[in-house]
């Protein structure tokens, strides 16, 4: 990766789910970087972020740190999600123009799209309406990052690339029924059911929503590739691999060898019926890419869970 070699690369959230995949890929490419996490630099605190820039003097920033979670967390904590994510981004942009205008790669979310946007979601539809309500305030905070990026590029010539991510899954995810997204939450829930010899598991809704999933290592490779894009840009990053939530549940159930049933809880929110990206812009910028098949990704994710979480209590 010629454009990154010799640069001072800073990765916020380097110990997080996506951060660990990015650092693994940079290690494979033999590209040096500095990873930071909230225990040393509080990105919500302006003074702490100023100190971070003074210490690291970055040429390139992968801003991966985020306050995020699944539907239950989004519904319970809309104010925290808005404030925490916006403050981190505002502090990054403000200090960037003071410390040498480093290139910024910002990670956004499919949750930024309007709830009634046409399927597949196209970048041209991003600003047309309010996001789907279960994840609206997290989505709006992430959408605002794109507006900030364009504003800072116009006024200060600060370059930034904003990547709207579809649902990620894979090793190092949050295997938590409250904060985890659907795949790690279900893996954890099925494991708990096996431990307690339960014959059924409640699920949100009827399993009919359709989602597009991206294996985290695939996303990391594409994000690093996207860091070489010049100027200000934003685009969707997905896989085109569409799955009904019910089929996702059955795939995980088979992988873990759980014999119980899924019980549909229609009182629980399910989110938007379908989320799918238009990937034409991404392909024009990054070219074609060979993705990890979903079944293979689930196998790797379950294996990682039982090796690192279940047996070693890593998370």
pLDDT at 114 over 90: yes
Name the residue among 32, 136, 25 with its Cα closest to residue 78.
Answer: 136
Looking at residues 120-136, what average pLDDT do you find? 93
What separation in angstroms does the CA of 264 have from each of 148, 151, 161, 167? 41, 45, 40, 22
Distance CA 20, CA 28 (A): 12
The 10s digit of each residue's pLDDT in 248-274 is 999 999 999 999 888 888 878 777 788
The 10s digit of each residue's pLDDT in 7-28 is 999 999 999 999 999 999 999 9
Q: What is the pTM of this model?
A: 0.91
| Region of residue 157 (left: phi > 0; alpha: psi -120 to 50; beta: else) | left
Check residue 176 and give its pLDDT. 72
Check residue 123 and give its pLDDT. 97
pLDDT band for 309, please (50, 70, 90 cuts): confident
pLDDT at 214 over 50: yes
What separation in angstroms does the CA of 79 have from each of 74, 91, 103, 243? 9, 18, 29, 31
| Of 288 and 274, the one with more pLDDT | 288
Query: Do 81 and 138 meet the contact criterion of CB atoms below 8 Å apart?
Result: yes
The 10s digit of each residue's pLDDT in 64-108 is 999 887 777 888 999 999 999 999 999 999 999 999 999 999 999
Phi–psi pair at 38, nearest 5 degrees: -65, -20
Looking at residues 36-54, what average pLDDT do you find? 93
Query: Do 187 and 181 meet the contact criterion of CB atoms below 8 Å apart?
Result: no
Query: Do 212 and 272 meet the contact criterion of CB atoms below 8 Å apart?
Result: no
pLDDT band for 178, please (50, 70, 90 cuts): low
Of the chain, the percentage scoring pLDDT greater than 90 comes to 74
Domains and CATH numbers, the chain: 9-173+212-239+275-291 (3.40.50.720)
Phi–psi pair at 197, nearest 5 degrees: 55, 40
pLDDT band for 311, please (50, 70, 90 cuts): low
pLDDT at 156 over 70: yes
Percentages (nearest 5) of helix, strand, coil residues in the chain: 45, 20, 35
* Beta bridge pairs of residue 163: 107, 235
Of 43-47, 128-132, 230-234, the range with the lowest mean pLDDT is: 128-132
* Beta bridge pairs of residue 263: 202
Of 91-95, 192-196, 219-223, the range with the lowest mean pLDDT is: 192-196
pLDDT band for 314, please (50, 70, 90 cuts): very low
């Amino acid at each position: 990766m010629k454009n990154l070699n010799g640069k001072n690369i800073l990765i916020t959230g380097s110990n997080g789910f996506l951060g660990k995949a990015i650092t693994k890929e940079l290690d494979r490419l033999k590209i040096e970087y500095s990873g930071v996490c909230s225990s040393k630099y509080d990105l919500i605190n302006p003074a702490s972020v100023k100190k971070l820039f003074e210490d690291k003097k970055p040429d390139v920033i992968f801003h991966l740190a985020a306050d995020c979670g699944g539907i239950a967390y989004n519904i319970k904590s809309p104010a925290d999600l808005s404030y925490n994510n916006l403050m981190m981004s505002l502090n990054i942009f403000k200090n960037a123009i003071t410390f040498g205008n480093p290139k910024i790669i910002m990670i956004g979310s499919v949750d930024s799209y309007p709830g009634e946007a046409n399927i597949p979601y196209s970048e041209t539809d991003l600003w047309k309406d309010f996001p789907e309500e279960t994840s609206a305030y997290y989505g709006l905070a992430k959408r605002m990052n794109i507006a900030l990026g364009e504003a800072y590029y116009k006024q200060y010539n600060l370059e930034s690339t904003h990547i709207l991510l579809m649902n990620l899954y894979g090793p190092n995810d949050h295997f938590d029924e409250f904060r985890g997204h659907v795949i790690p939450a279900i893996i954890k829930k099925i494991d708990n059911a096996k431990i307690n010899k339960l014959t059924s598991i409640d699920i949100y809704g009827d399993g009919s929503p359709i989602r597009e999933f991206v294996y985290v290592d695939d996303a990391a490779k594409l994000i690093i590739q996207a860091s070489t894009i010049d100027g200000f840009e934003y685009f969707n990053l997905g896989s085109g691999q569409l799955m009904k939530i019910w089929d996702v549940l059955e795939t995980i159930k088979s992988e873990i060898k759980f014999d119980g049933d899924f019980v549909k809880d229609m009182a629980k929110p399910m989110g938007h019926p379908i989320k799918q990206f238009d990937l034409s812009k991404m392909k024009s910028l990054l070219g074609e890419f060979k993705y990890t098949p979903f079944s293979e990704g689930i196998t790797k994710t379950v294996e990682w869970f039982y090796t690192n979480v279940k047996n070693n209590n890593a998370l």
